[in-house]
Homo-oligomer: A and B are copies of this chain.
């Protein structure tokens, strides 16, 4: 009896492993074969760790035979964005200069996943140093959107989104500073979650900007995200950003499909938020999603972002990022400037040219988004928005400046934010619905996402 490994995702495969309908080895072999067949076109993987993955799968199968299963994730093949350290394998961060930069230790989140029994298939392509949202990577190849060749999968976790959409892994890790998990989730038609700031350790993950960086799970369903997050979350005392919070999100799985009792905020004028650049397909899909959520029993309330102007805060966040980048890559820039693109170097030069008080002022403006979120969540349980104002676009088109309009809010506020598919354009390009909840309320976001996913049948 054969099972469709790809269709099972994380949760289905966990069940199949448990019931003996699949083994970790066959699942791992299936994904490795798909990578072999498709990756040269997609450029989703930068590095495939075939041997160690098969060895890990064999060990997982042996543990299961011995009755020593480590967790629901034991034996599940996943892949890592290439800014996350795995001991002994280069962490390129999508940067030419780091092609051979090999860490000695696993990132804390990798340690946790390894202890949960996850199988690591390899490292995924990304936008250079996570500093951009297209994954048009000059050093490791442009990562293609599996839904349309020549189109961006989004970014910076573009390889993670593309690999999942093409069925090259059961789950993947991304990182998210202004939307880098959710933008590729939206563009690739998969699910991605940016957790509460500090809930998942960023120690051992190449930083982009310390105050805004998050690591999050990406998968083909919210149920899959829930299992992954439960293995990833956990206080890391050695991460300066580390915060205590929940580590078990199973309440999201037990929930009924009904959203009775939840009040969701939504925007009734997207262009007012985003300055007239929202794609019409996004408009239509968002309106349909609102109806769908209402049918599921949620109360829908129109809300605003009073006191927060995305277009005003965006350049402040870029300044913070570029000031951090100047420090993070300082040694490599000095010793090997050609190991970075000209665009990247220009960003750093901008950061270097700014004054300390200008950065202090920028940080202050970013911090002032927190009270906006608190006031909002005093009136609603969650906020639903489109994830991106546009669907995926051609590599030849310019990236819209407003790409992070809906996503960056949750990075500034430190709140969980989930992207789930909400249909497609006429051309078949996926669109994403974003669900933002108060800090540490990941389970609420995942519950809404699961109910929406089931009802919309996407």
Contact = CB atoms under 8 A, between A and B. Distances in A.
A360 interface: yes
Contacts of A359: 323, 356, 359-360
Interface of A is mostly: helix
Contacts of A358: 356
A209 to B, nearest CB: 9
B210 A364 contact: yes
A377 to B, nearest CB: 9
B319 A356 contact: yes
A47 interface: no
Contacts of A237: 371, 374-375, 378
List the number of copies, as a whole number: 2
A374 B235 CA distance: 11
Nearest to A322: B356
B210 A367 contact: yes
Given A352-B356, A355-B352, A355-B354, A240 B367 contact: yes
A238 interface: yes
A370 interface: yes
A85 interface: no
Contacts of A355: 352-356
A320 interface: yes
Contacts of A330: 357
Contacts of A356: 319, 322-323, 326, 351-352, 354-356, 358-359
B240 A357 contact: no
Contacts of A128: none
A324 interface: yes
Interface string A102-143: 000000000000000000000000000000000000000000
Contact of A370 (B240, B354, B367, B371): B240
A239 interface: yes
Interface string A320-358: 101110110010000000000000000000011111111
A21 interface: no
Nearest to A373: B237
A361 interface: yes
Nearest to A378: B237
Given A354-B356, A355-B352, A356-B351, A240 B326 contact: no
Nearest to A320: B360
A368 interface: yes
Interface string A360-386: 110110011011001100100000000
A88 to B, nearest CB: 25
A325 B239 CA distance: 29
Interface string A239-273: 11110000000000000000000000000000000
Contact of A351 (B239, B326, B357, B367): B357
Nearest to A207: B364
A344 to B, nearest CB: 15
Nearest to A238: B371
A244 to B, nearest CB: 10
A358 B326 CA distance: 9
Interface of A: 210, 237-242, 319-320, 322-324, 326-327, 330, 351-361, 363-364, 367-368, 370-371, 374-375, 378
19 contacts: A210-B364, A237-B374, A237-B378, A238-B374, A238-B375, A239-B371, A240-B364, A241-B367, A242-B370, A242-B371, A242-B374, A320-B360, A322-B356, A323-B357, A323-B359, A324-B360, A326-B357, A352-B356, A355-B355
Q: Which 8 A-B pairs have the closest CB atoms?
A: A354-B356, A326-B357, A356-B359, A323-B356, A323-B360, A240-B367, A237-B374, A323-B357
